[in-house]
A and B are shown apart, each in its own frame.
Chain A
C-alpha cells in the first residue's frame, strides 16, 4: 500500500489533530486555525454567489413588475377607449356601466383622463403616459376610477 506523504503541521509543534480518519472533512492533518480560515473563505465565496444571485433575481423581479404595470395600464386604457367609442357609434340612448380599478395589478397608482379638446384618452402611471385617440370630441364630465355609467344623449357622451 502506498503511503501518503506526511503533511507538515503549521504553527505549533504539538497541535492537536482534529477529527479522525473518518472525519467528513478530511482535515486530519490541518491545524484548527488553518481549517477555520479555509471554511471562512468558502463561506465568503458562497456569500458572494448568494449576493449576485439575489441581485439578479431582484432585478428580474423589478422588470416583471414594470411589465405587469405596463400591460395592465394599457388594458385599462383600451377598455375605457372602447367604452367611449361604442357609446359614440351606437348613438342616442346608449347606456352602459363599467368599472375601472382603483390601482394597477402591481398595486401602483394611475391616473386616467379624457380630453375633449384634444379628442384623446390618456393614462399616466409610473411617470409614463400612453394616449389613444377617440372617435368623438363631444364628451362632457370626467371618467373616474371605480364605477362609471357611460351614456350617449343626442350625440353627447357623458359619464356618471
Chain B
C-alpha cells in the first residue's frame, strides 16, 4: 500500500462507519416515532369511540326527529331508552351521512346491536348492524355498551358493539 492511500482508506472507512451509524439511528428514530404516533392515535381513537357511544346512547340526536336529510347530530335515545325506530333508521341510513352525524369523518365505523347471547338483533326483518368491517391492515378500537331498546311494547336488552378503525 502506498503511503498516500492510507489517508484515503482511513477517511472512507470512518465515513462508512459514520454513515452506517447515521442510517441505523434514522431507522431507529423512524421506528420509535411510528410506534409513538400509533399509540397516540390509538389513545385518541379510544376517546372518539367512547364519545361516539355516549352520543348514540345518551342523546336523542339533532333534530330530535332526525332523518337522512336533516340530521346534524346522531342520537338514538327517546325517553332515556334507545328508540327502535331510530335504530332501524340508523341501519338504513347512508354510511357517509351517519358518519357526519357522529362527527367521525377521519375514521371508519361498525356498530352492531346484539342480544345478550351475542346474536345480532333482528328488528323489522333486518339485522341491526351498520357500517364497514375492519380490513386486515387497520388500527382497531372496540368498545361495548349495554342498554335497552324500547319498541313501544317491550324493552329488549341489547349489547352495542362499536368498532372504530382506520386504515394504516
Contacts and interface: CB of A to CB of B under 8 A. Distances in A.
Nearest to B26: A56
B4 A64 contact: no
Given A71-B40, A78-B47, A42 B73 contact: no
Nearest to B23: A56
Contact of B51 (A26, A60, A81): A81
A58 interface: no
Contacts, number: 73
A123 to B, nearest CB: 12
Contacts of A56: 22, 26
Contacts of B11: 42
Interface string A116-140: 0111100000000011110111000
B40 A49 contact: no
B6 A26 contact: yes
A34 B102 CA distance: 73
A133 B44 contact: no
A61 B106 CA distance: 25
Interface in B28-87: 29, 33, 36-37, 40, 44, 47-48, 51-52, 54-55, 58-59, 62, 72-73
Interface residues of B, number: 33
A130 B51 CA distance: 14
B156 to A, nearest CB: 24
Contact of A28 (B3, B7, B19, B33): B3
A67 interface: yes
A130 B103 CA distance: 9
A119 B54 contact: no
B153 interface: no
B2 interface: yes
A65 to B, nearest CB: 12
B15 interface: yes
Interface of A: 4, 7, 25-30, 38, 42, 45-46, 49, 53, 56, 60, 63-64, 67, 70-71, 74, 78, 81, 85, 117-120, 130-133, 135-137
Given A85-B54, A137-B73, 5 more contacts: A4-B3, A30-B4, A131-B103, A132-B48, A136-B59
